[in-house]
Structures are given as C-alpha cells and as structure tokens.
Amino acid sequence: MPETDTERRLITAGVELLAEAGPGALTLREIARRAGVSHGAPRRYFPTHRALLAAIAREGHRMLGALVDRTTGHDPREAVLEMARRYVEFAQREPGMFALMFRHDLLTGNGIGLREASTPLFGVLVKQLDRAAVPDPPVTAAALWAGVHGIAQLWQWGSMQVVTGSDDPGPLLAATVRAHLR
C-alpha cells in the first residue's frame, strides 16, 4: 500500500531528527511537531511507536542500499571491498541511523516490512561472494558482515583508532575482506 503524504512527512521528520539528535530524540510528539501534524497523528498512521521507528529505519536501509548499488568494479573482490568501505562510511556519516537500523526489536512484528528492506543488502553481498567463487557464500557473507559491522561500530566509538593508531579504516577493511575471500 502506498504511503500517504502524512506518513511520508512523519518518516522524513524522523529521519531528519535522527540525523540531528540521535535515536533518543525520536519521540512521537517531537516527530509530529516537526512534521507539522497533531501529536496524535502518528498513531493514526503507525499503530505503535516501534512501527514508526521501523519505518524510519527502513529509510536507512534504502539509503545504504543506494550506496551499495553504486559499488564499482567488475571484479567481485573489488566490489566486496567497496561495499565494506561504503558501509563504514555510512556508519560514520549517519551514526544515529546506523544505530537504529540494526535494532532487532524493530525487525519483528512491526508491520512495516523492515526485514524485507534489510535482507536485500545481504543478498547483494552473497551474490558477489558467489561470483568470487567463495565456498558457502551465505556463511562467508554473514561472517564478513559481522566483521565489517564490528569495525564500523568500534570505529564510531573511537576504539579502533586507539588500537590501530590510524584515522583510516581502509587497511583494516582490506585485511578483513582478504581474510574472508581466501
């Protein structure tokens, strides 16, 4: 079912608020205020606060998906490294959205289709690994994703900069991708 104008305004207001103030600022009242609707309006379009958060997180998956779709290189190994770089760059540029997107409590029972928005990204990675002739691409993709996600999260927290002595996650990402593509 297509979104209404009010639903779109609520989601857009949530995305903007998230970018400015982080996940803790995503109250129904503040999202409604920013969208220019009554404080009760979100409940007419999203049955729960969690459903509205899932709709906002779905936008993050769409944003990340658009970045992944632009990965370059005909060589699947180069494409996987480029995907990893874009993933970490997205986490650095959109820390609030990155945090919201992977909240497991939003994935089930939200009625928004968040899982359907998130799983295609994993499928792109599996496809690239299959093209690279990696054994058991789904398992390798899960392990690689966990590693890249860990790098992104630890980089956000400043931990990786301390242990690597660098402000560039590139070499660490390259080592992680190489380790999984042997």
Is residue 81 in some structural domain?
yes
Q: What is the pLDDT of residue 92?
A: 95
Q: Tell whether 158 and 70 lie within a shared domain.
A: yes
What global pTM score does this model have?
A: 0.90
Instruction: Clarify whether residues 80 and 142 are in a common domain.
Output: yes
pLDDT block averages, 10 residues each, the chain of length 182: 85 96 93 94 91 92 89 85 95 94 74 79 92 95 96 94 94 96 87
Q: Return the CATH number at 156.
A: 1.10.357.10
Give the structural domain span for 36. Answer: 1-45
Rounded Cα distance, 31 and 51, in Å: 13
Integer angstrom CA distances of residue 119 from 1, 50, 51, 91: 20, 19, 18, 18
CATH (domain of 6): 1.10.10.60
Name the token pair of 1: 């079912």
Instruction: Give the DSSP H/E element, type plus range, for residue 152.
Output: helix 137-157
13 by DSSP, 3-state: which?
helix
